[in-house]
């Protein structure tokens, strides 16, 4: 299973940047004073619940490798027996047991904007190694794929409607360290571009490469502000660091291709799924086309493409 029963978890609100309710500005994903209940899914055909504790579940039986399938079945049976021993009733957690009729995992958003669960009382953490009820809750959440299992998954299109996500202290610590390292690296690169010696040309090329569309003749303060503000977003900051580490020639070649596409010098054939210019075929994606353009065999095409771009830039109003 994707959740580790050896780790402690907690639920965090899955904040969406575009939230018409405005709850994101308060750091919550549900209205204060409300709760969300997660109950295992029920199959009306098999008359079984999706519990994560059924060794005969179709996803387990579908494992093609016999040894892996049997190992998984053994693991699931042992977990079920361990939890039933806690409740003191063998068979209680069978997939068709009435136990599941009223089983629910309540997640509360409190009036003071805290997120917690009501499992054997109020709890902010799920500790499966010490608390069987917490273990059961995690198994059910995992089996039903109700929530993202980490912060990275929380940004997936598959979980746009998920109001919460699971995270561990290890993940938070790692993210904190990663954030600090990224901030330091961004600062170093901004200083390299706008320090005592300003490297305006390189800064401009980086901004264009990253899609910020700086205006031709844009002032140094405006360009610096543009990059500074953009790097406050984590994904952009990562791309900025990568761009700053590129060879200047590679950056220039990439921007020649990007401009050629924008100026309609290089077109995209949707049928063949290929970028092309005249009789010259590039590749199926922009990145792969840029990589191909750097190859020695494309030296003549690169020179001609640069000439075509430079000529058209002087008459186009839409390139910057």
105 shares a domain with 34:
yes
| Predicted confidence pLDDT, tens digits, the chain (320 residues) | 478 888 889 888 887 777 777 777 777 888 889 989 999 999 999 999 999 999 999 999 999 999 999 999 999 999 999 999 999 999 999 999 999 999 999 999 988 888 989 888 898 989 888 899 999 999 999 999 989 998 888 878 888 788 999 998 778 777 777 788 888 999 999 999 999 899 999 999 999 999 898 888 889 999 999 999 999 887 788 899 999 999 999 999 999 999 999 999 999 988 888 999 999 999 999 999 999 999 999 999 999 999 999 988 877 655 55
Residues 233 and 272 in one domain: no
Residue 283 maps to which CATH number? 3.30.250.10
Q: Are residues 292 and 226 in the same domain?
A: no
Euclidean distance between CA atoms 283 and 41, whole angstroms: 45
Judgement on whether residues 114 and 14 belong to the same structural domain of the protein: yes
Are 23 and 107 part of one and the same domain? yes
Answer with the one of 246, 278, 308 that is the final residue of a domain: 246
Closest by Cα among 70, 99, 98 to 87: 99
Q: Are residues 236 and 255 in the same domain?
A: no
Is there a domain that residue 185 lies in? no
Residues 21 and 128 in one domain: yes
Strands (E), the chain: 9-13, 34-38, 42-43, 48-49, 105-109, 115-118, 122-123, 164-168, 267-269, 274-277, 280-281
DSSP state of 101: G
Q: Are residues 164 and 264 in the same domain?
A: no
Domain count of the chain?
3
Question: Rg of the chain over CA atoms, in angstroms?
Answer: 27
Distance CA 21, CA 12 (A): 18
Tokens of 93: 């957690």
Edge-to-edge order in the sheet of strand 267-269? 267-269, 274-277, 280-281
């Amino acid at each position: 299973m994707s959740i580790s029963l050896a780790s402690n978890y907690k639920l965090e609100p899955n904040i969406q940047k575009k939230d018409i309710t405005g709850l994101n500005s308060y750091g919550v994903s549900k209205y204060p004073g409300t709760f969300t209940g997660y109950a295992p899914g029920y199959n009306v055909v098999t008359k079984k619940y999706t519990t994560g504790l059924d060794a005969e579940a179709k996803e387990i039986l579908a494992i093609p490798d016999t040894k892996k399938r049997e190992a998984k079945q053994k693991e699931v049976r042992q977990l079920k027996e361990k939890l039933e021993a806690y409740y003191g009733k063998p068979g209680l957690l069978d997939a068709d047991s009435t136990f599941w009729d009223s089983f629910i995992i309540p997640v509360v958003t409190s009036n003071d904007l805290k997120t917690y669960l009501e499992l054997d009382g109020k709890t902010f953490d799920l500790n499966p190694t010490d608390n069987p009820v917490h273990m059961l809750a995690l198994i059910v959440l995992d089996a039903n794929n109700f929530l993202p299992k980490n912060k990275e998954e929380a940004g997936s299109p598959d979980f746009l409607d998920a109001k919460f996500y699971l995270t561990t202290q290890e993940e938070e610590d790692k993210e904190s360290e990663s954030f600090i390292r990224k901030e330091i690296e961004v600062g170093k690169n901004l200083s390299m571009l706008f320090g005592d010696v300003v490297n305006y040309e390189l800064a401009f090329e980086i901004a264009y490469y990253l899609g910020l569309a700086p205006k031709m003749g844009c002032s140094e303060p405006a360009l610096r502000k543009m990059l500074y503000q953009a790097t406050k977003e984590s994904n952009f900051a990562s791309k900025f660091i990568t761009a700053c580490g590129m060879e200047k020639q590679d950056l220039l070649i990439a921007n020649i291709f990007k401009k050629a596409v924008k100026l309609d010098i290089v077109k995209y054939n949707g049928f063949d799924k290929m970028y092309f210019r005249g009789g010259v075929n590039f590749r199926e994606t922009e990145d792969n086309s840029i990589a191909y353009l750097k190859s020695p065999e494309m030296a003549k095409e690169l020179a001609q493409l640069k000439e075509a771009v430079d000529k058209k830039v002087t008459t186009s109003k839409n390139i910057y």
